[in-house]
Amino acid sequence: MTKTYRDLLAEARARVREVTTTEAELAAGDGATIIDCREDSEWEQGHVRGARHLSKSYIEQDIESLVPDRETPVVVYCAGGIRSLFAAETLVDMGYSDVASMSGGFQAWKSEGRAWDQPRVLSPEQKSRYSRHLLIPEVGTEGQARLLDSKVLFIGAGGLGSPGMLYMAAAGVGTIGIVDFDVVDASNLQRQIVHRTDRVGMRKVESAQMTINALNPDVDVVIHETMLGPDNVGELIAGYDLIFDGTDTFETRYVLNDAAVRARIPVVHASVFRFEGQLTVFKPFEGPCYRCLYPTPPPPELAPGCSVAGVLGVVPGVMGLLQATEGLKVLLDIGDPLVGRLLIYDALDGAFSELQLRRDPGCPACGDGVLPEASADDGVFTLPTTPATATGVNA
């Protein structure tokens, strides 16, 4: 039997409840999922605040991941209220029990002065570049826009920082700050893959900037050619959303920890030694900090760095990429970041193990006596960053 458009529309109207914009707004307030079934280009011009975008052409494929529970109340809208009727009818066919179509669509909603938002729009180049991110529901356009607006700081453009900053740049993290005072040395190239043989002698920050700019022009690289210390740490880290600690001295790690706790900026921490690496996320006042883990630094002779002890080049590579992974999780607010957990990688065994870390209530940096509300510049911290002399070792 031939059916006309009018027949189909009448059938849809008979099966789908239609609601006014006022009723839709109330339903949203009561927890209904509002679905915008228009095309991408229409969504980008503006959408009902809080709505989820699921184009009519993908509704059968994607609705079950967007709305897993078929009892969830759903209101579908389009531009004028016709396409949403057909989309809603599909949901009824799929067994969704409380589906409505919003009469008048987004045109009516907007003209009545109801709340709407214009989503961050990616350029065609960005849509292509980040297409594999856009396909993942946990990232998508919203997450990618969040990354593009994020600012991360790498302390050290070395073994850990190199792979981390390359992948953060590739991922489209909009601002990457780099703190390093050193120049590229031939002995760095075995693992510090952000640098190049023809850049030996060049400032590391400059070399890293060149590589990142060539990789992704979306990224604004901010270089700080300086050594991080107690005098400049506050200024260096201000305004960043996340810090990657890839330094190789205890003093720097403590200085950074204390300042990051004060500024409440999460630090993704990693360290390496020969065939092993450690990794954790220090999220101020939500989990332990570096001082909770190690209240005092060891004397230098008991803790040699890579330049003394050596390191298998891929180990900082693995750990730097795990840092980048944790960093993306923190920025996107997805998954279960390694807060309060220390991940240990043993390359020779090919094994990962995990230890639980606890926030120390007596920690001088983040313990119970320290209020998270404390001002960032109140200067209350004068904590030891060099080895204590009472360790029983000839320091």
Partner 1 sequence: MTAVRIPPVLRQQAGNQKKVEVTGSTVGEALESLLGTYPGLREQIFTADGSLNRFVNVYVNGRDVRYEQELATPVGGSDEVILLPAMAGGR
Positions annotated as catalytic residues are: 306
The percent helix, strand, coil of the chain (3-state, each to 5) is 40, 20, 45
Q: Considering beta carbons, is residue 12 or 165 the nearer one to partner 1? A: 165
For residue 356, the minimal CB distance to partner 1 (Å) is 6
Q: Considering beta carbons, is residue 177 or 246 the nearer one to partner 1? A: 246
Q: Among residues 246, 317, 340, 364, which is the contact residue for partner 1, using CB under 8 A?
A: 246
245 near partner 1 (CB under 8 A): yes
Which phi and psi (to 5°) does residue 346 adopt?
Answer: -115, 105
| β-strand pairing of 99-102 with 47-48 | unpaired
Q: Among residues 354, 368, 369, 372, which is the contact residue for partner 1, using CB under 8 A?
A: 354
Q: Considering beta carbons, is residue 105 or 364 the nearer one to partner 1? A: 364
C-alpha distance from residue 184 to each of 236, 239, 268, 272 (Å): 22, 28, 24, 20
Cα R_g (the chain), whole angstroms: 26
C-alpha distance from residue 237 to each of 48, 72, 192, 326, 381 (Å): 37, 44, 23, 19, 16
115 near partner 1 (CB under 8 A): no
| β-strand pairing of 116-117 with 47-48 | antiparallel
Q: Considering beta carbons, is residue 354 or 368 the nearer one to partner 1? A: 354
d(CA 251, CA 229): 8
Stretch touching partner 1 by CB under 8 A, among 86-94, 193-201, 244-252, 373-381: 244-252
For residue 151, the minimal CB distance to partner 1 (Å) is 21
Single-letter residue type at 181? F
Site string for partner 1, 267-296 (x = CB under 8 A): ---xxxxxxx-x--------------xxxx
With beta carbons less than 8 A apart as the criterion, state whether 48 and 105 touch: no
For residue 301, the minimal CB distance to partner 1 (Å) is 10
357 near partner 1 (CB under 8 A): yes
Q: Kindly state the number of chain residues that form the binding site for partner 1, as judged by CB under 8 A.
A: 49
C-alpha distance from residue 351 to each of 19, 271, 273, 343, 348 (Å): 57, 16, 15, 10, 8
Of 323, 140, 148, whose CA–CA distance to 220 is shortest?
148
Q: Considering beta carbons, is residue 304 or 372 the nearer one to partner 1? A: 304
Q: Among residues 94, 189, 210, 388, which is the contact residue for partner 1, using CB under 8 A?
A: 388
Q: Which long-range contacts (CB under 8 A, 24 or more apart) does 53-61 make?
A: 53/119, 56/83, 56/86, 56/87, 59/35, 59/87, 59/90, 59/91, 60/90, 60/94
With beta carbons less than 8 A apart as the criterion, state whether 388 and 311 touch: no
Q: Among residues 194, 306, 338, 365, which is the contact residue for partner 1, using CB under 8 A?
A: 306
83 near partner 1 (CB under 8 A): no
With beta carbons less than 8 A apart as the criterion, state whether 30 and 59 touch: no
For residue 377, the minimal CB distance to partner 1 (Å) is 28
Site string for partner 1, 184-213 (x = CB under 8 A): ----x---x---------------------
163 near partner 1 (CB under 8 A): no
Of 273, 390, 267, 277, whose CA–CA distance to 339 is shortest?
267
Q: Considering beta carbons, is residue 116 or 275 the nearer one to partner 1? A: 275
For residue 88, the minimal CB distance to partner 1 (Å) is 51
The residues that touch partner 1, with contacts defined as CB under 8 A, are 156, 158-161, 188, 192, 245-250, 253, 270-276, 278, 293-298, 302-307, 309, 311, 316, 342, 354-358, 360, 388, 390-393
